[in-house]
Amino acid sequence: MALQFLFQFLSLLLLFTTIRLSATYPGSSTRFDTMRRRMTSKSNSHLPPEFVTYYYTQTLDHFNYKPESYATFQQKYIMNFKYWGGASTSSPIIVYIGEEAPLTFGVHGKGFIFYLASRFKAMLLYIEHRYYGDSMPFGSFDEAFRDANTLGFLSSTQALADCAQLITDVKRNLSAENCPVIAIGGSYGGMLASWLRLKYPHIATGALASSAPILYFDDLTPQNGYHVVVTNDFRDVSESCYNTIKQSWSEIDRVAGQTNELATWFRLKYPHIALGALASSAPVLYYEDITPHNAYYSIVTKNYRDTSETCYQTILKSWAEIQRVGELPDGASILSRQFKTCTPLRNENELRDALAGMYASTSQYGRPPENPIEKFCSAVDRATACGNDGAISYCRVLKNISDNIIALPTVNGSHCLDIVKSNKTSDPDWLVQQRKTEVEIIEGWIAKYYADLKAINKWIPFKLQ
C-alpha cells in the first residue's frame, strides 16, 4: 500500500507482575443490577451485530471531593461476547484501552484482538477515552473544551481511574469477578494499558502495550529524541537526501521572502518608475481564461513520471487509498494517526492538500544538478511495509526491565503493526513470529492466573462473597 512506507517502527512492551485473585464465584448468566450505576445500550450501525455499544455513568473527578467532582458523564464502551466462554469458566476479558480518538477506530483497526478472543475464548471490552468520541463530559465538545476549568479533568490519571471503575463494574454485573483481565493498547493507549497494570494490578492481570512511548517524559528522554531518530532514519537511507533536507530549511526561508510577481506588476503599473523587471519563476499568466486550471499539476505530474514510473504509480494509487480510508466511519482519525498529523484531520481532503503541496514543492524547488524528485522517488521506490527504525522507539522500552516486564523490539515494522489484523499473504516472517510470541506470553499469564486461583480455592474453607 502507498500508505505503508509512511508508517513507523514497531516495538512492544508486555507487562506482568504479581496477581491479586478473587475466589471463585458461582457461574451465572448475564445480569444487570438496576441499583448499580445506570448503563444504557444501543446498537452501532458501523459495527457488526456482535458488537454492542453501552454508556456508563462515569465519575467526572476520581480524586477530589469538591462539589463538582461528583458530576458524571456518559462514557462509551463496546462489548463483544462472540467468543467468550462465560463467567462460570473464568474465561478471560480482553480490554482495549482507547487512545486519543473515537472508540470505533480501535474496533475497526485492531484485528489481532479478534484472534486473541477466539484463541482464549475471551470477551472483548473496548473503553473510550474521556473527552473523545461520544464520551464527552459537560454534554458537548464546545462546553468540555471551553476553558481550563472544564478541560482540567482531561488527564491520564483520570482516564486510568475511568477504566478501573468501569472494568470493576462490568465484571460485577456479569458475575465475572474471577475472570482475568488482559489490557491492550497502542501508542498512547499502550501507555495507558501498561500503567493500568502497574497502578491497578488487582484489576489487570497483564498488559500488551504496542508501540507505547512510556518513557517520553522530561528528565527521562531528551526532548528532541523523536526528531533525532527521524533524522537518523533519513540519514541511514541516504546521506545526500539528509543533507538536502537539512539545507532546504534555509532555502524555504529564502524563497518565502521573494516577491517575483510583484516585480513584474510593478514594472507594468509604474513604467515611469521601473525601467525593467526580472521576475524569476513568476506565474504571471496563471489566471482564469488564460491558463488551464490543471496546468501546474500537469507539469508536476510529468516531472514525477519522467523521473520514476513506479514512484508516479505509487503516488497515484495513494489518492484512492486515502479516499478509501477517509470514507470509513472514523477515516479522518485513522489517517491522522497513520500520518502523525499535528492536529486531527477533519477529512481526507486536508491530507490530500498537504501531500499535494509537498509533492509540488519537491517538483518546483531544486538546485541543479541535484533533482529533489529523484531523491524523493528513490526513497519511495525502496520503501517497504517494514520501513526502518521508528521515531517513537527512542522513548520506548527496548530491553527487558525484569523477568516480568518483557520487551519485544524489532528493527523492522511500523507503528502498532502487531495489533492490526494479520494478512497471511503479506505479513513478513518477523511479524508472524512477533505475534506468536505475544500469544505465548499472554497464554502464560492466563495459565498462571488459573493455577493461582486453583491453589487459593483449595486452601480457603469458604468462598469469598
Domain edges within the chain: 4-214+390-459, 286-364
Best CA proximity match to 229, nearest among 437, 415, 419: 415
Find out whether 342 and 317 touch, Cβ atoms under 8 Å. no
Polymer length of the chain = 465
> What angle (nearest 5°) sits at the alpha carbon of residue 155, between those of residues 150 and 160?
125
Residue 388 has what pLDDT? 38
Task: Centre a 10 Å sphere on the Cβ of residue 441 and count the other Cβ atoms it contains.
Answer: 16
pLDDT along the chain (465 residues), means of 10: 33 34 32 33 65 95 90 96 94 95 79 91 96 93 90 95 97 95 93 95 94 82 78 85 84 64 59 56 55 67 82 84 85 79 80 81 68 74 44 62 76 73 81 86 89 81 52
Q: Taking each helix axis from N to C terminus, what angle separates 331-338 and 348-364, rounded to the nearest 10 degrees? A: 40
Provide the grid cell at 46.
458501523
Residue 346 has what pLDDT? 83
What are phi and psi for residue 173, nearest 5 degrees?
-65, -25
Distance, CA of 194 to CA of 185 (rounded, Å): 8
- Write the DSSP assignment of 158-221 as a string of letters: HHHHHHHHHHHHHHHHTT-TTS-EEEEEETHHHHHHHHHHHH-TTT-SEEEEET--TT-STTTS
Residue 205 has what pLDDT? 94
Find out whether 238 and 375 touch, Cβ atoms under 8 Å. yes
* CATH class entry, domain 4-214+390-459: alpha beta
Residue 176 has what pLDDT? 95
End-to-end CA distance of the chain: 54
- Write the DSSP assignment of 281-348 as a string of letters: T--TT-STTTS-TTHHHHHHHHHHHHH-HHHHHHHHHHHHHHHHHHTSTTHHHHHHHHTT-SS--SSH
SS3 80: strand
Provide the grid cell at 218.
522530561
Best CA proximity match to 390, nearest among 116, 70, 10: 10
Task: Please report, as a single letter, which amino acid is at residue 164.
Answer: A
Residue 3 has what pLDDT? 36
SS3 386: coil
Distance, CA of 436 to CA of 125 (rounded, Å): 22
DSSP bridge pairs for 183: 95, 207
